[in-house]
Amino acid sequence: DISTQTAPDCCTLFMPRRPETHARIREVLEAWNSFDHDEMIKDLMQHIEYIDFNQCPSYKPPKVLPARHKELAPAEFVIR
């Protein structure tokens, strides 16, 4: 089982050695505006995979379900 194998912490693997802590707002906005956010959301919504864990006998649902953002999640994914 892969979940029992030891592995380095992903934070130390992918974290930059010297993270930027004093970002300039102009550079942040420039990076932010370089993304096509609508296209990214559209692509993400097209690749959602729904898994029904209720079919798994060992699954125990959470007592409180997280809220869903109605604008981002289609109606069939919103928990009522």
In tens, the pLDDT along 10-47 reads: 677 777 778 778 889 999 999 999 999 999 999 999 99
45 CB-near residues (< 8 Å, 6+ apart)? 72, 74
Mean pLDDT of the region 50-73: 72
The predicted model scores a pTM of 0.39
**How many distinct helices (H) and strands (E) make up the chain?**
3, 0
**Percentage of residues in the chain with pLDDT exceeding 90?**
24
pLDDT band, residue 80 (cuts 50/70/90): very low
Task: Find the angle CA(71)-CA(73)-CA(79) to the nearest 5 degrees.
Answer: 110
Phi, psi of 69, rounded to the nearest 5 degrees = -80, 110
